[in-house]
Amino acid sequence: MAHKASPEQRNERFRSFVLATREMIENEDFDNIHIRRIADKAGFHNSTLYSYFKDSEYLISLASVKVFEEYSHSLAELSKRNLSEYENFMEIWKFFCLNAFKFPEIYNNFFFGKHSDDLTSIFEEYYRIFPDEEQKHSASIHKMYVGKNLNLRCYDILEPLVGLPNIRLNKNNLVLANNLIIASFKSLLEEALTFKSSNTIEKVNELTSRFMATLCFIIEK
């Protein structure tokens, strides 16, 4: 009879699979990352991996959380500042874009891939295994960082802008504005994907500036 792994052994194996996948993400093209290769790198049979994760896409999403460390740190610093709702909204999106256009494959898979509607559980599971990596955020920023999907994340920080001076948002156009923001971001992220091997700081800043200009056009009078 096969020996059943203890909770500690399961956590260690889980961690090994995530670390192996993280290393592959950092050094290889997404198209080359498969269950069998991840299992080989972690030192296990691929059947073992399936007892821990739904599929390779879910594991890749989990391993990708490490890439958000810089973004998470920026949000943690933002939480310490006494900004208006508008300033908070704009700063969150700026930090998000600067990181997203730097790592377009990871962000595209994470926010528009197979498990993009299950992000809260992905973050919870990741920080259960890597608790030392979790940053402290204010309540409003935390909702943006660990929200269920990108649409809800944006909506949560967009809604407080309704009724502010010089803001065109109201209850009737809020959902439309939110959808336009997400669509605009996705369009620029897809552009970043075409330059993924040569996304310089200048290109990242250019894409971010274009998005921020679009953002102002959508929400301001």
CA distance 219 to 221: 7
Query: DSSP letter at 103?
Result: S
CA distance 70 to 159: 26
Which spans in 28-67 are helix H? 35-42, 46-50, 56-64
- Residue 221 has which token pair? 């009078």
Instruction: Look at residue 46 and tell me whether its pLDDT is greater than 90.
Output: no
21 neighbors 38 (Cβ within 8 angstroms): yes
90 neighbors 104 (Cβ within 8 angstroms): no
- Residue 216 has which token pair? 């102002």
Mean pLDDT of the chain: 88
SS3 167: strand
Query: DSSP letter at 190?
Result: H
CA distance 162 to 168: 8
Residues of the chain with pLDDT > 90, as a percent, come to 45
pLDDT tens digits, 57-109: 889 999 999 888 878 888 878 878 888 989 989 999 999 999 999 999 999 99
CA distance 179 to 64: 25
pLDDT tens digits, 184-211: 999 999 999 987 666 688 999 999 999 9
- Residue 134 has which token pair? 């979790």
- Tell me the pLDDT band of 2, cut-offs 50, 70 and 90: very low
